[in-house]
Structure 1
Amino acid sequence: MHEFGIAEAILAAVEKRADGRRVRRARVHAGALLRVTEPVINQAFSAVADGSVAEGARVDLVIVPVRMTCRSCGSTSTSVDPFAVCAGCGGTDIDTEGGDDLVLESIQMAEAAHVPGNSRGDRGDPVRPS
């Protein structure tokens, strides 16, 4: 099952971003061509995350559409169905673009920790001259 490989990749990214802190949730963008569903990826993630900082965490999956261009009629469209046919002519001779990305968008920690400074990217209070 390819879902376990995807779940392991998600776990590696989650662990790196969590930096040892417990994780409750992860939001992941997955391209339509990866052919994963949220229930199946959560089952695989649960298995690979056992004993890690993400044990018991849930994956919220956002499917990113694939862009399709029909070689027969030139029509372009997007679809979350990896087996879609041309919306214009019904043809199957299509080129695809994108749809194979896997991106960890965000994680939610189990416990919020106060970080001084601007939460939008600041690493803490600036050094103030004495």
Structure 2
Amino acid sequence: MHELGIAGAVLRAVERRAAGRRVRRARVRAGALLHISGPALNQAFIAVSDGTVADGAHLDVVIEPARIACRSCGRTATSDRMLAVCPGCGGTRMDLQGGDGLVLEAVQFAEAERRVGHEPST
């Protein structure tokens, strides 16, 4: 399960952005060519974040398809796998334009807990 290694990398990025603040949720955009399972990555993130600032946080995973462009006919297509042959002309000169990245898009922090009975006086 390669999601465990990816979850560790995501956790390190989340911890850097959190700078000690508690994390409630985070969102990553993963390219389809990484062949990541969103639910498996979230479960791996839960496992690796135990005892950290992200303990109990949920990881939202957005899968981004690969964009592929044919050098022969100029057609572009999106796919969840690398195409070897253009679906338009059958050409084999294809350029990959994404679908293999991993980006931490957002981190939501837990709100500071208010202590009951210690409200500021007005």
Normalization by structure 1: what TM-score?
0.73
**Where does structure 1 lack aligned partners over 5 or more consecutive residues?**
114-130
Between stretches 30-39 and 66-75, larger displacement belongs to: 66-75
Offset from partner CA, 1:90-122 (integer Å, 9 cap, x none): 777743222111111111112158xxxxxxxxx
Displaced runs of 4 or more, over 3 A:
70-74, 83-87, 89-95
Distance 1:98 1:23, change over 3 A: same
Alignment length (residue pairs): 112
What's the counterpart of residue 98 of structure 1?
Answer: 98
What's the counterpart of residue 121 of structure 1?
Answer: none
Q: CA RMSD in A?
A: 2.3
The equivalences for 1:8-87 within 5 A come to 8-70=8-70, 74-79=74-79, 81-82=80-81, 86-87=86-87
Distance 1:53 1:74, change over 3 A: same
Query: Could you tell me the percent identity over the aligned residues?
Result: 65
**2:28 match: secondary structure:** strand
**Where does structure 2 lack aligned partners over 5 or more consecutive residues?**
114-122
Normalization by structure 2: what TM-score?
0.77
CA distance in 1: counterparts of 2:91 and 2:44, whole angstroms: 35
Task: Quote how far apart the aligned CAs of 1:63 are.
Answer: 1.5
Task: Quote how far apart the aligned CAs of 1:9 are.
Answer: 1.0
**2:53 match: secondary structure:** coil
CA distance in 1: counterparts of 2:90 and 2:8, whole angstroms: 37
